[in-house]
């Protein structure tokens, strides 16, 4: 059952021909979410045709700097042209409602589908979205304007039933559901078969944290503790430490230190400053602090799978 993150953009605010500004698609058991929506995100969604934009249920905007939000109005407008009817929910800092309203009004655009804006409190770690498959939490970040990261946590799945026991005890559908939910089995003679003899543990719920843009801050450690996948911005390398502090960004070294301290499964880098023509330097610097790092690249998908233990599979854009 899928839990995957596809990187659509890893550039920073100054445009380059190498990168697209921030955006990612998170897909959890058929429910899709967009995180940030830099300029041209809709073109990235077209380019990576294995993604299904019509399945996007909600959009999470980290902050209102243009490289994270300038693609939103264009994409919503295109959804309208494509005949979308399903409701969409958009989460982000205060100002988001005004930004959308003004652009809709002066351009005379109208959306034929419900579009509900939720302005969130960027100072608190709290659950802001929940459905049957996933819960999403806000992560307070430190940047030049109100900024929130997002934590996606899969809901606990049902226990695995041992197939032979279904025939052995002639379980009906309702009974199978109850056993998968953790109940013991009561036989007609009132004897009880404990659940542990009927089921095996399901895989632990999977998690992904998105942290961009932000100055290095250890206050996020409890929120990102042991997540399977962490995307943390690495705008600069150590050679621009002063610049990182001044503009409230993070270096590759610092992001890797956070990943190590939070004992995350895997770190993905991104939000690369245009000062660096080659991105390998970010990987090299991060690897000095933490060994499970991957260079965030447009079009690549990180899939969290269970092979007796949690593994991360990185899939290229042409491998779908
Ligand atoms: Zn940015
Ligand atoms: Zn920013």
Q: Checking phi first, is residue 5 left (phi over 0); if not, alpha (psi -120 to 50) or beta?
A: beta
Can 67 be counted among the known catalytic residues? Answer: yes
- Whole-angstrom distance, CA of residue 305 vs CA of residue 3: 8
Ligand 1 geometric centre to CA of 1 (Å):
32
Ligand 2 geometric centre to CA of 72 (Å):
16
Relative to the alpha carbon of 63, which ligand is closest? 2
Relative to the alpha carbon of 65, which ligand is closest? 2
Report pLDDT digits (tens) over 70-113: 999 999 999 999 999 999 999 999 999 999 999 999 999 999 99
- Whole-angstrom distance, CA of residue 204 vs CA of residue 306: 9
Sign of the C-alpha dihedral computed for residues 12, 218, 91 and 304 taken in this order: positive
What are phi and psi for residue 275, nearest 5 degrees?
A: -65, -15
State which residues have CB under 5 angstroms from ligand 1, the bound ion: 67, 213
268's CB contacts (< 8 A; 6+ apart) are 5, 7, 229, 230, 231, 232, 293, 294, 295, 296, 302
Q: What is the pTM of this model?
A: 0.94
Ligand 2 geometric centre to CA of 271 (Å):
10
Report pLDDT digits (tens) over 194-221: 999 999 998 889 999 999 999 999 999 9
Ligand 1 geometric centre to CA of 249 (Å):
9
253's CB contacts (< 8 A; 6+ apart) are 237, 238, 285, 286, 288, 289
Report pLDDT digits (tens) over 267-318: 999 999 999 999 999 999 999 999 999 999 999 999 999 887 889 999 999 8
The interaxial angle of helices 96-107 and 72-81, nearest 10 deg, is 50
Q: Quote the tokens at residue 241.
A: 């430490």
Q: Which one, of 106, 112, 114, lies nearest residue 82 by Cα?
A: 112
pLDDT for 36 = 98
pLDDT for 71 = 98
pLDDT for 12 = 95
Q: HSE (CB half, 13 Å, CA atoms) of 71?
A: 25
Ligand 2 geometric centre to CA of 314 (Å):
27
- Whole-angstrom distance, CA of residue 286 vs CA of residue 271: 14
Relative to the alpha carbon of 36, which ligand is closest? 1
Ligand 1 geometric centre to CA of 22 (Å):
7
Q: Which residues pair with 186 in a beta bridge?
A: 192
Relative to the alpha carbon of 247, which ligand is closest? 2
For 234-239, which contacts have Cβ atoms below 8 Å and span 24 or more sequence positions? 234/269, 234/270, 234/271, 234/272, 234/282, 234/286, 235/12, 235/271, 235/272, 235/273, 236/273, 236/275, 237/276, 237/281, 237/282, 237/285, 238/285
Ligand 1 geometric centre to CA of 251 (Å):
14
pLDDT for 1 = 82
**Which residue in the list 36, 67, 213, 228 is annotated as catalytic?**
67
Residues counted in the chain? 320
């Amino acid at each position: 059952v899928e839990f995957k993150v596809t990187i659509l953009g890893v550039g920073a605010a100054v445009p380059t021909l190498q990168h697209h500004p921030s955006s990612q698609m998170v897909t959890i058991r058929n429910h899709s979410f967009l995180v940030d929506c830099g300029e041209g995100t809709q073109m990235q969604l077209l380019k990576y045709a294995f993604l299904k934009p019509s399945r996007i249920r909600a959009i999470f905007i980290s902050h209102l700097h243009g490289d994270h939000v300038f693609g939103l109005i264009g994409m919503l407008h295109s959804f309208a042209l494509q005949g979308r009817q399903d409701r969409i929910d958009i989460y982000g800092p205060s100002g988001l409602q005004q930004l959308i309203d003004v652009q809709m009004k002066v351009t005379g655009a109208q959306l034929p589908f419900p579009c509900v804006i939720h302005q969130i409190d960027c100072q608190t770690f709290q659950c802001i979205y929940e459905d049957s498959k996933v819960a999403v939490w806000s992560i307070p970040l430190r940047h030049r304007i109100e900024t929130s990261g997002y934590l996606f946590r899969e809901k606990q799945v049902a226990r695995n039933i041992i197939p032979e026991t279904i025939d052995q005890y002639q379980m009906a559908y309702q009974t199978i559901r109850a056993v998968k939910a953790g109940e013991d089995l009561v036989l007609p003679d009132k004897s009880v078969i404990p659940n542990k003899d009927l089921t095996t543990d399901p895989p632990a719920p999977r998690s992904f944290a998105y942290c961009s843009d932000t100055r290095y801050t250890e206050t996020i450690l409890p929120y990102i503790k042991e997540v399977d996948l962490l995307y943390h911005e690495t705008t600069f390398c150590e050679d621009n430490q002063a610049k990182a502090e001044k503009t409230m960004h993070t270096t590759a070294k610092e992001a890797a230190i956070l990943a190590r301290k939070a004992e995350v499964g895997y770190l993905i880098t991104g939000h690369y400053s245009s000062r660096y023509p080659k991105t390998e330097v970010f990987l090299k610097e991060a690897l000095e602090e933490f060994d499970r790092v991957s260079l965030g690249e447009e079009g690549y998908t990180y899939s969290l799978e269970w092979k007796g233990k949690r593994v991360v599979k990185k899939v290229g854009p042409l491998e779908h």
